[in-house]
Amino acid sequence: MAKTGSQILVDFLVNKGVEYVFGIPGGAVLPLFDALYDSPIKFILNRHEQGAGHAADGYSRATGKVGVCLVTSGPGATNLTTAVATAFMDSVPLVAITGQVKRPLIGNDAFQEADVMGITRSITKHSYLVKDLKDLPRVLNEAFYIASTGRCGPVVIDLPVDVTMECCDGLLPEEINLPGYKPCYQGNPRQIKLAAEAIDKAQRPVVYAGGGIILSGCHRELLEFAEKARLPVTTTLMGLGGFPETHELSLGMLGMHGTPYANYAVTESDLLIAIGARFDDRVTGKLEEFAPHAKIIHIDIDPTSISKNIQVDIPVVGDARSILQELIPQVHYVERKEWFEKILEWKRKYPLSYDNSGEAPKPQYIVEQICEATRGEAIITTEVGQNQMWAAQFYTYTKPRTFISSGGLGTMGYGFPAALGAQLGCPDKTVIDIAGDGSFQMNIQELATAVHYKLPVKVAILNNGYLGMVRQWQELFYKKRYSQTKLDDNPDFVKVAEAYGARGFLVERKQDVRPTLEKALSIKEPVVIDFRIAGEENVFPMVPAGQAIYKMIGSLA
């Protein structure tokens, strides 16, 4: 039976088990949307392509499945690029299908034409322009395979409208043909043995675990490994939830806004075991003074991450899970009494803390209350800036895929649409976007999506009337010259929520925080809570940019 390109694509997605596709229709994708009309795939109509991309990304991060989005050519595709770049930086498996003008018009400045291959080249793991219908099944198959294997990432498929309208008889080849792509999963046994020996010998080891723990699904192995060899574990922002923060071996998050004890432990360690982390500048601070006494083991699936920023002594390339499974039987319990005493002392002396005085609720207090009210069981998404750091510091993460945030690219406006995707992927979970008043307004239009699909996502706006993190830097490093960071004219968020058909609450006093949260959690609809927090609260501790990570400022009294 003859099938159109559109039908081939839709059938492929159905066979692949794709449940949701996020996006917005447009001229160049009309045939695709016509084919979707009769399909069992649930299409989520977002209100901006960036929102669609982030929602697909949030869905993927919450479930581990490939996120799929579909937008039109030109502006549809360019609007999507921020979401694609976000997924690329955080290794999120995403397949983004963009419409393209018909083949004879490509390169002619046609209406709604953009060179999507060119624009997305450096922000995708791979990209395709399908110029021949007979390539389509293979391209689709390869795209899902590439996105979800090795170091995951986004793949863009640019699909000219005339290809989707063309008909084809009979079966087309679907086989994957990628001689240049052979992701390596098994670690080299010799390197693993070297790593095990170094771990047994270490007096002051620290595990530095990144987002790779979550992507590889090896949180159980990490726990077993840390307990067996008795190793303290610090996670990156992306690694939050990869190791239970309630565990005695947990050091919490390290880096610019990490815990003092994590940063001190790394600085004094004699062996740093990096797993699925990439030595990002927000983690390392001044490179020359990062873990200066430590030998470094680096377990990562991406060979380009090894020795990129820091010279590694024992690299092990492969999947973190399979490597940990090999490593666990080879390591032994070592008590390391002195080391743990020292860590305990740091924990006692320098806990994360804040001043909870005053009438206005403190953002840290709000995040703690969210954690208590949800018993630490919610999926937390964040925007970017102070809200993100408070959400990372003061919520206690114990399970993977419960902290969803734009770590690498730092995309404001990410958290809310990502929360919608996460909620669709995990309908039984409580999903809360911890937001700032600045960030939330960057994709506030997605309230319409939340209301339309009855997604009971909660948005907790930590409203300080500022672009808070930038203001904090201006306070600390630019003599309080608050250049363009005051948001004087914020809308009434309660009314905005209500105008969209969602619920809205205003909280101005500390004692109203918990009751309002409880009320919001009991409502099975989208709720926006506008928490009016003190305008000039800062995120501490903080390592000034380019400084050594043990030189933190703030709350170290």
Partner 1 sequence: MKHLISATVENKVGVLARIVGLFSGRGFNIDSLCVGETENPSLSRLTIVVNGDDAILEQVRKQLGKVIDVIKVTDMTGQPYVERDLMLVKINAPPGKRGEILEIVDIFRGKIVDAGLKDVIVELSGTEDKLEAMLKLLQPYGIKEVARTGQIAMLRGTK
Interface ranges with partner 1 (CB under 8 A): 117-118, 121-122, 125-127, 129, 131, 146, 178-181, 302-304, 308
Q: Residue 45 or 184: which CB sits closer to partner 1?
A: 184
Q: Which is nearer to partner 1, 45 or 178 (CB)?
A: 178
Mark 209-241 as b/e (b = at least 16 C-beta within 10 Å). Answer: bbbbbbbbebbebbbebbeebbbbbbbbbbbbb
What is the rounded CA–CA span in Å between residue 338 and residue 232?
13
Q: Judged by CB, which is closer to partner 1: 303, or 515?
A: 303
Tell me how far apart the alpha carbons of residues 164 and 184 are, in angstroms, rounded to a whole number: 35
User: Considering the complex, what minimum distance in angstroms separates the CB of residue 236 from partner 1?
Assistant: 21
Q: Which two tokens stand for residue 60?
A: 């993927």
Residue 157 or residue 253: which is nearer to partner 1 going by CB?
Answer: 157
Tell me the closest approach of the beta carbon of residue 279 to partner 1, in angstroms. 13
Q: Shortest approach of partner 1 to residue 99 CB, angstroms? A: 18
CA distance 306 to 109: 42
Nearer to partner 1, 181 or 185 (CB): 181
Which residue, chain included where needed, has tokens 């099938």? 3
Could you tell me the smallest distance in angstroms from the CB atom of residue 117 to partner 1?
Answer: 6
The length of the chain, given as a count of residues: 557
State the nearest-atom distance from the C-beta of 270 to partner 1, in Å.
25
Quick one: 75 or 303, whose CB is closer to partner 1? 303
* Min CB(306)–partner 1 separation in Å: 8
Asked if 174 contacts 46 with a C-beta cutoff of 8 angstroms, the reply is no
Helices (H), 237-374: 260-268, 281-284, 320-327, 337-349, 363-373
Q: Among residues 145 and 482, whose Cβ is nearest to partner 1?
A: 145
Closest contact distance (angstroms) between CB of 145 and partner 1 is 10
Q: In what order do the strands lie in the sheet with 271-275?
A: 250-253, 233-235, 205-209, 271-275, 295-300, 314-317
Cβ distance to partner 1 smaller for residue 305 or 443:
305
- Minimum gap (Å) between residue 130 Cβ and partner 1: 11
3-state secondary structure of 43: strand
Would you give the end-to-end CA distance of the chain in angstroms? Answer: 75
Question: Cβ closer to partner 1: 69 or 119?
Answer: 119
| Non-local CB neighbours of 107 within 8 Å, separated by 6+ positions | none
| Residues linked to residue 529 through DSSP beta bridges, in sequence order | 460, 505
Least Cβ distance, residue 3 to partner 1 (angstroms) = 25
Cβ proximity to partner 1: between 173 and 535 the closer is 173
Question: Which H or E run contains 31?
Answer: helix 30-36
Which amino acid belongs to residue 188?
N
Alpha-carbon distance 465 to 328, whole Å? 49
Q: How far is the CB of 272 from partner 1 (least distance, A)?
A: 20
**What is the CA angle 32-38-40, rounded to 5?**
100
- Closer to partner 1 by Cβ: residue 145 or 340: 145
Residues 6+ apart with CB under 8 A from 73: 26, 27, 28, 29, 98, 99, 100, 101, 112, 113, 114, 116, 161
Tell how strand 379-382 and strand 42-45 pair up.
Answer: unpaired
Burial of 352 (0-12, 13-18, 19+ CB in 10 A): middle
> At closest approach, how far in Å is the CB of 128 from partner 1?
8
How far, in Å, CA of 188 to CA of 518, rounded?
Answer: 51
Residue number, 117 or 352, with CB nearest to partner 1: 117
CB of 181 to partner 1, least distance (A): 5
